[in-house]
Structure 1
Amino acid sequence: MEEKPEQHASEPTGNFTVVRFCPGGMTGYGETVEGNQKLMSRMDEAGFTQNELAEAVNAYLRALGQDGTVSDRTVRNWLTGRTRWPHSRQREALETVFNCRIAELGFAPRGEQASSFSGPTEDRVLRRHFISASAGVTLTAASPIPAHGHTAQQRVGSGDVERLLSKFTALIVSDHRYGGQLTIETQASALANEALTLQTRGTASQRVRSSLYACAASFTSSAMWAAIDGRRFDEAQNYFDRAASLAAMSGDSTIQFRIWSHAGSLYRHLGRPADALAANDVARSLPIARRDPLFASLGHARHAAIHGLTGNAVAVRRVLAHAQEALDRADPKEYRPVWLNAFYDQAELENLALAAYLSLGDFEQAEAHAHRSLALLRPHMHRTRAITTARLAHAQLGQVDLEPAIATAMSIPTDVFTRHARVARMLGDFGIKLHTAAPSSSQSRAWDQYTHDFRRNNT
């Protein structure tokens, strides 16, 4: 007599365990389901545990300004088939994390077959900018990660790289919401170490090894940027030295551009414009900057911000014109890495122009660029919005428009003060300049009261 299969079998899949329902099993709600084999397979290939996938989805949701309420139980319901069609924002997040359509993850509306449902065709704002889960390397189809980890003879493949890049995408989302946090710096550095550890775990093709070095360099560059953003400049210099070496071993000019461009920003924040111009010139001379107008535009825009420190107004105007011309030529449909798609567009060009003109003391022009940048910023760019708003307050103060300047400064969410060193420093400088310009004014007293109340409520 043939035995019937058990209805509930606890079964390991990679680094996580799910309850897999056999065909004909019951969910407990009187509904017959089969486990979502496609999602199981994708998670196994990417190396996600249920908790890690929940964390990646929540990072996306928080970038939209929503609560991240996905738990490991939510993921378990997806895996068992109890939830066949997640909420719309969760579907967007899943598509982003796995870089595929929702149907390819085994989901479909009730009454539809997952294999036949292609889902909506419209671009979603965040997905368009985050779905390219890559640090500048193009990979072929992922190879599965074994369920019990690597051995000394295990072959490391592109699937291992894909797993790292999926985690990196979630980190990029968090960075653009919070920015400058030590936790982001630590997570990025840990991912870089993970990529380098894979180099020692087994055999790999030269292409995969180059990809791993590119990943490690890209992650280290993100740690470097978090340190710059948090004004931890000594740590940023150390990350730069390491990232530059890793990028050279990867042979990838895309990530080399990012690292040297970050170095230019580091030296700009340190008030060393000669070093900043030299570092940014290295980035602008790389093949990727000659081949792709979007990279060229970013290189020019950052050069303009550096020229602002030197007081060279002619150079600022000239280089900004080059940046705009290159941005206009850039094909938005061309493949580019996630870190570039995540932030560089017309809004960021306007923001860098704002920084340049603010350094020149051309406050009227700076204010115009600030308003354009704020109008164009994507909703998830919380950190950039705070920085741009602080710069706008400085531009208004420079024109002695005291009431608008204070109103602008006070419009920055107060929780940003406590978690973002750059914004806190910019607002501290704003207070100093306000007292210099109008030491006994009602506006200065209002600002003092505002900052006093803030400190009292946050001690």
Structure 2
Amino acid sequence: MEGNRVLKARMAESGLTQTELAEAVNADLRAAGYDGTVSDRTVRNWLTGKTGWPHHRQRAALEAVFNCPVTELGFAPRGDSSRTAPPEDPVHRRRFVSASAGAALAASAASAYGEQRRVGVGDVQRLLSKFAFVIASDHRYGGKLTIETQASALAGEAIALQARSTASQRVRGALYGCAASFTSSAMWAAIDGRRFDAAQRHFERAAGLAAMSGDSAIQFRIWSHAGSLYRHMGRPADALAANDVARRLPVSRRDPMFASLGHARHGAIHGLTGDARAVRQALGHAQDALQQADPNEQRPVWMTAFYDQAEWENLALAAYLSLGDYENAEAHAHRSLALLRPEMQRTRAITTTRLAQAQLGQGDLEPAVVTAMSIPAEPTGGHPRVTGMLHDFGNALRLTAPSSLHTRTWDEYTHDRQRNPLR
């Protein structure tokens, strides 16, 4: 039995271990209202080929995790075994955890759970504590499919809790806000992992949930993420339009911290357009607003967990790198790295990669290669954005100095790292 090589390859491509795939499948099962019973052994049976056609609920979960038909994961039905239970409609499954499923979900939840119970502030706080864990995982790893799936599952939990319970209007709004927050984290994980189609789908769900919550802070996060999504896709006009929605929200007028983030991200987007004056103006407004912000004001965990002077420097770095102003970019990179909090490992790897690109842009080959080689393999060296940026760095290095000793050093290093990825 040669095993399921296709599934093994897809797991490697997504950076999923057996344990992580089991957790991701279980998270999707729980979001759809089922028990999560997949274990490491289950995944091992899939990989060895012992189980060639998983249970229909597991097949639906696998399709949700990898965003493709299960037959594209190396599985194939044997005889009529696939007819023992009808496959779930993947569209219905997606709707289960989406904002548009409120009415259908309420009906199914009522029959499944019987008498409704009262939901209060404590239930909202319990969900928010899980949100803090998702934020922490994102800062450590970033972009992983498991983070995206876990966040989507928790959004489903918030929606399901609302559908099968009674609550005050205030608590219902907070539950919609929780669901929007989790979905926005799934959206960001997809952006960070370069899964842009999935990010767009999360955006559409998150925007609807946020509108029902009435919370302009989470609406800001979602539209600001949309601006980042379009910026990473190379669509600056759409990015500016989406970020403008965020900047016009009441929370941006009320709190200088939100205004600062909106301006800073606008500056990064303007870098793509080549408008140096607009970059300087937006970054200046962002810095002024950041200095006006009260550090003791209560803000959502997602904001306090990442936006500060270090992130402002990082967005300025991105803007000047896009402009080709490598000297200014390097200065911002050094300041950002000096200010970054220890837990911001994903951001540190991205900033270090940008620093290497800025040094290379100034013709400083040796420092650039040394900087690029300083990025540790774990836990962020295999991050999709870091990997793509280092690939671009290598191409630029070979174009700049194809016969250089530094180029040969870099090529040998990357070849060795591909053979020994954990070194």
Query: Which amino acid counterpart does residue 201 of structure 2 have in structure 1?
Result: N
Deviating 4+ runs (over 4 angstroms): none
Query: Which amino acid counterpart does residue 442 of structure 1 have in structure 2?
Result: L
SS of equivalent to 2:194 = coil
How much has 1:312 moved relative to structure 2?
A: 0.2
Cα distance in 1 for partners of 2:236, 2:381 equals 29
Aligned residues of 1:227 and 1:236 also touching (Cα < 8 A):
yes
1:375 aligns with 2:326: no
| Residue in structure 2 matched with residue 457 of structure 1 by the alignment | 420
How much has 1:150 moved relative to structure 2?
A: 6.9
Query: Which amino acid counterpart does residue 396 of structure 1 have in structure 2?
Result: Q
1:192 to 155, 174, 180: 155
Aligned residues of 2:359 and 2:368 also touching (Cα < 8 A):
yes
| Residue in structure 1 matched with residue 164 of structure 2 by the alignment | 201
1:164 to 114, 127, 142: 127
| Residue in structure 1 matched with residue 391 of structure 2 by the alignment | 428
How much has 1:174 moved relative to structure 2?
A: 1.2
1:236 to 199, 206, 212: 199
How much has 1:153 moved relative to structure 2?
A: 2.3
Please show how residues 382-397 of structure 1 align to structure 2 within 5 Å.
382-397=345-360
How much has 1:419 moved relative to structure 2?
A: 3.5
How much has 1:156 moved relative to structure 2?
A: 1.2
| Residue in structure 1 matched with residue 181 of structure 2 by the alignment | 218
- The number of equivalent residue pairs is 312
| Residue in structure 2 matched with residue 353 of structure 1 by the alignment | 316
SS of equivalent to 2:241 = helix
Cα distance in 2 for partners of 1:361, 1:347 equals 21
Cα distance in 1 for partners of 2:200, 2:311 equals 24
Cα distance in 1 for partners of 2:379, 2:269 equals 26
Query: Which amino acid counterpart does residue 356 of structure 1 have in structure 2?
Result: A
Aligned residues of 1:417 and 1:424 also touching (Cα < 8 A):
no
| Residue in structure 1 matched with residue 240 of structure 2 by the alignment | 277
How much has 1:313 moved relative to structure 2?
A: 0.1
1:403 aligns with 2:363: no
Unaligned runs of 5+ in 2: 1-111
Please give the per-residue CA displacement for 1:130-168, whole angstroms capped at 9, x wherever unaligned.
xxxxxxxxxxxxxxxxxxx97532111111111111111
Query: Which amino acid counterpart does residue 314 of structure 1 have in structure 2?
Result: R
How much has 1:418 moved relative to structure 2?
A: 5.5
Determine what percentage of the aligned residue pairs are the same residue. Answer: 75
| Residue in structure 2 matched with residue 153 of structure 1 by the alignment | 116
Cα distance in 1 for partners of 2:137, 2:238 equals 30
| Residue in structure 2 matched with residue 253 of structure 1 by the alignment | 216
Aligned residues of 1:418 and 1:424 also touching (Cα < 8 A):
yes
Aligned residues of 2:349 and 2:381 also touching (Cα < 8 A):
no
| Residue in structure 1 matched with residue 145 of structure 2 by the alignment | 182
Larger-gyration structure (1/2): 1
| Residue in structure 2 matched with residue 438 of structure 1 by the alignment | 401
Aligned residues of 2:326 and 2:359 also touching (Cα < 8 A):
yes
SS of equivalent to 1:197 = helix
Please show how residues 12-27 of structure 1 align to structure 2 within 5 Å.
none
Please give the per-residue CA displacement for 1:320-342, whole angstroms capped at 9, x wherever unaligned.
00000000000000000000000
Cα distance in 1 for partners of 2:306, 2:267 equals 18
SS of equivalent to 2:402 = coil
Please give the per-residue CA displacement for 1:112-138, whole angstroms capped at 9, x wherever unaligned.
xxxxxxxxxxxxxxxxxxxxxxxxxxx
How much has 1:458 moved relative to structure 2?
A: 3.1
| Residue in structure 2 matched with residue 25 of structure 1 by the alignment | none
SS of equivalent to 2:358 = helix
Aligned residues of 1:307 and 1:315 also touching (Cα < 8 A):
yes
**Residues 254, 281 of structure 1: alpha-carbon distance in 2 compared, 3 angstrom cutoff:** same
Query: Which amino acid counterpart does residue 223 of structure 2 have in structure 1?
Result: W
| Residue in structure 2 matched with residue 366 of structure 1 by the alignment | 329
SS of equivalent to 1:415 = coil
SS of equivalent to 2:311 = helix
Aligned residues of 1:289 and 1:296 also touching (Cα < 8 A):
yes
How much has 1:415 moved relative to structure 2?
A: 2.7
Query: Which amino acid counterpart does residue 425 of structure 1 have in structure 2?
Result: G
Query: Which amino acid counterpart does residue 390 of structure 2 have in structure 1?
Result: L
1:268 to 215, 231, 241: 231
Unaligned runs of 5+ in 1: 1-148
Aligned residues of 1:416 and 1:423 also touching (Cα < 8 A):
no
Cα distance in 1 for partners of 2:192, 2:304 equals 19
| Residue in structure 2 matched with residue 412 of structure 1 by the alignment | 375
| Residue in structure 1 matched with residue 285 of structure 2 by the alignment | 322
Q: State TM-score, norm by structure 1.
A: 0.67
Please give the per-residue CA displacement for 1:358-409, whole angstroms capped at 9, x wherever unaligned.
0000000000000000000001100000000000000000001000000000
Q: Report the structure, 1 or 2, having the larger helix content.
A: 2
How much has 1:414 moved relative to structure 2?
A: 1.8
Aligned residues of 1:171 and 1:188 also touching (Cα < 8 A):
yes
Cα distance in 1 for partners of 2:163, 2:177 equals 16
RMSD over equivalenced CA pairs, Å: 1.5
Please give the per-residue CA displacement for 1:251-279, whole angstroms capped at 9, x wherever unaligned.
11000000000000000000000000000
1:306 aligns with 2:266: no
Please give the per-residue CA displacement for 1:199-240, whole angstroms capped at 9, x wherever unaligned.
111211000000000000010000000000000100000000
Q: State TM-score, norm by structure 2.
A: 0.72
Cα distance in 1 for partners of 2:311, 2:178 equals 25
Aligned residues of 2:346 and 2:380 also touching (Cα < 8 A):
no
Cα distance in 2 for partners of 1:239, 1:153 equals 29
Please show how residues 66-81 of structure 1 align to structure 2 within 5 Å.
none
Aligned residues of 2:316 and 2:332 also touching (Cα < 8 A):
yes
Please show how residues 37-52 of structure 1 align to structure 2 within 5 Å.
none
1:331 aligns with 2:294: yes
| Residue in structure 1 matched with residue 49 of structure 2 by the alignment | none
Cα distance in 1 for partners of 2:421, 2:322 equals 32
Query: Which amino acid counterpart does residue 428 of structure 1 have in structure 2?
Result: H
